[in-house]
Structure 1
Amino acid sequence: MSASVIIGEQQSGKPLQIDIEELLATRLLVQGNSGSGKSHLLRRLLEESAALVQQVVIDPEGDFVTLAEPFGHIVVDGAAYSNNDLIRLANRVRQHRASVILALDGLEIEAQMRCAATFINTLFDAPRDQWYPALVVVDEAQMFAPAAAGDVTDEVRRLSLSAMTNLMCRGRKRGLAGIIATQRLAKLAKNVAAEASNFLMGRTFLDIDMARAADLLGMDRRQAETIRDLERGQFLALGPAITRRPVAVRIGGVQTTSRAVSTGLLPPPTATGQDLHDLLHAAPTLEELTAVDGPSPRPAMPDAGDLMEQIGSYVMAVAPGTDQEPEDPLAGGDNLFAAAAVAAPPAIAPDEINAMIASIMEDMATEPGATYQQIASLYQDFTLRCRMKRIGHHAGDVAQFRRRFAMAVAGIYAPQEERWAELMGLARAVSDEWLAPFLVLARAAMEGEACPDDNELARVYGTSSSGRIRRLLEHLEKEGHIVVKTDYGGRRSVGIPELGVFTAAV
């Protein structure tokens, strides 16, 4: 199963890929002057990886909100919610693995920094069982991690810089992979930029920025001059998730566009000077007289409760169907902003869905060492496999997966089958922690097999401690779930009182 996406095309015509799994561990820094194609690069990366990993976009200009409709991202307008609302929303985002865009274009710079810091810090402080992998994309990162004091207060600057430092320096262990983009490396705090191991460097003209870019790419000062010659949409790439040697890449086409105003030429009106003078000095119309002073009001946003319900029911985007995808992975040719359609997932019968989920669970449960992995990592793997089979919206939440995985570990891959109905009823009273060992013992008893030994129970339980297995059996017996018998020969058998069955003594 590949977790790589094509970001663009090298000069040789060969596609250039980014390994998303490696990117999660090594982070990314994008640099380029205004108009270099930096935002287009981020859009390409977000679109291509939308079906592979959760995404959180800190969007100071509101450029990326157009991802919402085709890819299912939820837009959070930072100007519409209080600090406490943002904290609750960020907690829900972490819990439900929703891809969101935090739009900050309705705020002044100081409020943007406070809002972004609150959101990022809440993602960072999530409980350990919610440390799911996520790309955290911060556009115009120099605003949130400035190298020097500016027009904002020291308190706000420290708050924002601390959040960005946590994201880039300590976020990896919490599943947060920082992707930061900046116009000026010289304006970006060095301790934030230094944590990135992957780089995509676009056109820049100032000597100080070229020198820093060349240093990060391992180029000498003479080679640094080539950075000035890069065209729009062309970047120099380097890093363990991309390439081991610097290569030039032209970024491929995208499916969505920015809301930004076009920079193309627009001829002035053909009216004469006198006509324009008369238009500008004409008497005010009724609409102008009754208009509200100031800028047009922003469209109403859902309240925090409604937005949290959207996040709770979030379903990650499904990759486009192969029958509607363009043959060329860099669809768009010379037009870097060409659009492409997103295919809807085909309808699948419920029985077929159950069979596919059962097959996935069997594959995962039988992999060596699976029971020793963290449940968050297993759940991420499960949802990825479901999305690859176009059933991602049937994956359920992590609590449902935890119990379903425990059943699979016990060899019960299709718990909806009639033969397991009575056992599934008993399992409802067993806590998640003890469920897998209980089901292993119960299944052995139902089928008249030998009692699982301590080594087998330890593997199922995900431990190497024999003491924990003794406490496990004592707990299950104390709770009335099992009965343990040991004969004079030291052989153990386990019974399930409600089912009236025992394992064979071993």
Structure 2
Amino acid sequence: MKIGIELGSSTAGQPVRLDLEELLSTRLLVQGNSGSGKSHLLRRLLEQSAGHVQQAIIDPEGDFVSLADRFGHVVIDAERTQGEIQRIAARIRRHRASVVFNLEGLDADAQMRSAAAFLNGLFEAEREYWYPMLVVVDEAQLFAPSGAGEISDEARRVSLSAMTNLMCRGRKRGLAGVIATQRLAKLAKNVAAEASNFLMGRTFLDIDMARAADLLGMEKRQAESFRDLNTGSFVALGPALSRRPLALKIGYVETASRNGRPELMPPPELGSAQIQDLIFDDLATEPMPTPVRRVEARPVEDIIETLEEARPPEPVPVDPEAAAAFEAEREALVAEIVRQFVADGDAPFRSAASLYPDFLVHCRVRRVGSKVPDLADFTRRLAIARAGLDGRVDSEEWGRAVEQASGLPEEMQGVFLLLARAGMEGAPSPADEVLAKAYGSRSPSRGRWLLTYMEERGHLVCEADFRGRRVVRFPALGWKTAPGDPKALSA
């Protein structure tokens, strides 16, 4: 973990940290019924990360405008034209300003259109301004509904498209989606499915509990435990949080929502006659109430000037020991997944390209995180694992062999290292069938072809003794295998 922010504490009293850099690559989904502490959780996350990363909050109820006074967020009123919103969004990315996009006062249709324009403006910024940014969307089911409602089809289409872009394609543009919803069942599945980190709070409906348990990998009988969570308590899972479901209590916050939590207030102790007099007396003489006037939106020029004056967050030093521990854990998970592929039935005889999609699925299930090996790296790892080496022979001489293997195609490196290992130890030369299997083939002739390919490029020399047994020499390394039968069959 490189930069960890403290969300709260576990049931055992231990601090629970969120890896902020991992979150930027893997996205977060927060779910909880009204009153579960969902907005409190988002506020804690925003406050703790404000000094580390740029933030943009899509705020349908005006709950987060209080961040402006304490943390310097720029509040942007959404009652603007689509062009103005998109230009402001472009300036936000250019100047790395943290903002609250306030949608309060707009009807549902207008909120969806405004949010879509804002997200598209962030998404379509020029490549040179793709700085990391947390994009927090509260009440995400309003902007990515699972079905049609009272809003127009056009508003739903543009809003859902923008939310899908944020969660599916935003990572490459530096946009890390953090979405919060009251109802998982009302949130579009293709939007929710892109999150790799989850914080699940109290919920009561069976369909929501079942989806929450499914996302966390819990058994169905455990789903009812979400009913028992207290306000501010959540179950966390994901590469940025915990490898296993972990219950935690969210910590305190420095700012407060303008709405606050409702409290009981008894009515005044007045008699019936007094109440009637207060309501009905002198109706004719009392002036009509004046309509509440909204505060006029700030001009675009003022917003832009504020954005240009905003200072980017200060970089935070990385803890090298924590980073090394986190990378070691990730590497161990990847190595274990690759070994499972080699040991699983016909997988050793499938090409690396055909196995790679399954490898990505396993990485996601095991919460490996964002730094997943690409196809070339996976091919090299698979070849080494097929050769039974795992790339873990620690010596200076072996390092020279690994360096020489890097000059071969990724899928051949494991075969070369298998031969080199035999040469270093003076073991018999592996048979054609063994070489072919290490390459991922059932054909012994493929093993002979591999030797010819490597010999023609000067990596090794093949010779035969008077009994027809093969000896493989490695001139650059000074190694030689013992004689081995090339036609020997594996047991």
TM range (shorter): 0.5 to 0.7
| Residues 1:3 and 2:17 aligned together | no
Structure 1 SS opposite 2:294: coil
Correspondences of 1:311-460 after superposition (within 5 Å)? 311-316=307-312
In percent, how many aligned pairs have the same letter? 59
**In the TM superposition, what is the alpha-carbon distance from 1:317 to its structure 2 partner?**
6.1
Conserved in 2, the CA contact under 8 Å of 1:53 and 1:133?
A: yes
Conserved in 1, the CA contact under 8 Å of 2:33 and 2:201?
A: yes
**In the TM superposition, what is the alpha-carbon distance from 1:319 to its structure 2 partner?**
11
**In the TM superposition, what is the alpha-carbon distance from 1:159 to its structure 2 partner?**
0.3
Evaluate the alpha carbon distance shift between residue 316 and residue 275 of structure 1 in structure 2; reply closer, same or farther with a 3 A threshold.
Answer: farther
> 1:59 aligns to what?
59
**In the TM superposition, what is the alpha-carbon distance from 1:315 to its structure 2 partner?**
2.1
Conserved in 2, the CA contact under 8 Å of 1:148 and 1:187?
A: yes
**In the TM superposition, what whole-angstrom CA distance separates every residue of 1:81-104 from its partner, at most 9, and x where no partner exists?**
222211111111011011000000
**In the TM superposition, what whole-angstrom CA distance separates every residue of 1:110-167 from its partner, at most 9, and x where no partner exists?**
0000000000011001110010000000000000000001111111111000000000
**In the TM superposition, what is the alpha-carbon distance from 1:299 to its structure 2 partner?**
1.7
Evaluate the alpha carbon distance shift between residue 319 and residue 252 of structure 1 in structure 2; reply closer, same or farther with a 3 A threshold.
Answer: farther
Structure 1 SS opposite 2:29: strand
> 1:306 aligns to what?
302
Q: 1 CA distance for matches of 2:248 and 2:260?
A: 26
Evaluate the alpha carbon distance shift between residue 88 and residue 267 of structure 1 in structure 2; reply closer, same or farther with a 3 A threshold.
Answer: same
**Count of residue correspondences:** 317
Moved over 3 A (4+): 316-320
Q: Match of 1:42, as an amino acid?
A: L
Evaluate the alpha carbon distance shift between residue 284 and residue 206 of structure 1 in structure 2; reply closer, same or farther with a 3 A threshold.
Answer: same
Correspondences of 1:152-167 after superposition (within 5 Å)? 152-167=151-166
Q: Runs of 5+ in structure 2 lacking a partner?
A: 318-491
Q: 1 CA distance for matches of 2:302 and 2:131?
A: 24
| Residues 1:38 and 2:34 aligned together | no
> 2:210 aligns to what?
211
**In the TM superposition, what is the alpha-carbon distance from 1:298 to its structure 2 partner?**
1.4
**In the TM superposition, what is the alpha-carbon distance from 1:290 to its structure 2 partner?**
5.9
> 1:438 aligns to what?
none
Q: Match of 2:209, as an amino acid?
A: M
**In the TM superposition, what is the alpha-carbon distance from 1:282 to its structure 2 partner?**
2.5
Q: Which has the larger radius of gyration?
A: 2
Q: 1 CA distance for matches of 2:235 and 2:261?
A: 26
Q: 2 CA distance for matches of 1:169 and 1:261?
A: 33
> 1:269 aligns to what?
268
Q: Match of 2:32, as an amino acid?
A: G
Q: Runs of 5+ in structure 1 lacking a partner?
A: 321-359, 361-506
> 1:397 aligns to what?
none
Q: 2 CA distance for matches of 1:166 and 1:227?
A: 30
> 1:345 aligns to what?
none
> 1:22 aligns to what?
22
Structure 2 SS opposite 1:245: strand
Structure 1 SS opposite 2:34: coil
Q: Match of 1:110, as an amino acid?
A: D
Q: 1 CA distance for matches of 2:315 and 2:40?
A: 20
Q: Match of 1:54, as an amino acid?
A: Q
Evaluate the alpha carbon distance shift between residue 284 and residue 95 of structure 1 in structure 2; reply closer, same or farther with a 3 A threshold.
Answer: farther
Q: 1 CA distance for matches of 2:45 and 2:260?
A: 22
**In the TM superposition, what is the alpha-carbon distance from 1:261 to its structure 2 partner?**
4.5
Structure 1 SS opposite 2:57: strand
> 1:189 aligns to what?
188
Q: 1 CA distance for matches of 2:61 and 2:228?
A: 27
Q: 1 CA distance for matches of 2:247 and 2:260?
A: 28
Q: 1 CA distance for matches of 2:225 and 2:129?
A: 44
Structure 2 SS opposite 1:247: strand
**In the TM superposition, what is the alpha-carbon distance from 1:301 to its structure 2 partner?**
2.8
Q: CA RMSD in A?
A: 1.8
> 2:143 aligns to what?
144
Structure 1 SS opposite 2:44: helix
**In the TM superposition, what whole-angstrom CA distance separates every residue of 1:415-467 from its partner, at most 9, and x where no partner exists?**
xxxxxxxxxxxxxxxxxxxxxxxxxxxxxxxxxxxxxxxxxxxxxxxxxxxxx
Structure 1 SS opposite 2:66: helix
Q: Match of 1:56, as an amino acid?
A: A
> 1:289 aligns to what?
287
Conserved in 1, the CA contact under 8 Å of 2:31 and 2:38?
A: yes
Conserved in 2, the CA contact under 8 Å of 1:140 and 1:182?
A: yes
> 2:369 aligns to what?
none
> 2:258 aligns to what?
259
Q: 2 CA distance for matches of 1:37 and 1:120?
A: 26
> 2:402 aligns to what?
none
Conserved in 2, the CA contact under 8 Å of 1:210 and 1:227?
A: yes
Q: Match of 2:20, as an amino acid?
A: I
Q: 2 CA distance for matches of 1:90 and 1:274?
A: 57
Conserved in 1, the CA contact under 8 Å of 2:24 and 2:175?
A: yes
Evaluate the alpha carbon distance shift between residue 32 and residue 24 of structure 1 in structure 2; reply closer, same or farther with a 3 A threshold.
Answer: same
Q: 2 CA distance for matches of 1:6 and 1:53?
A: 15
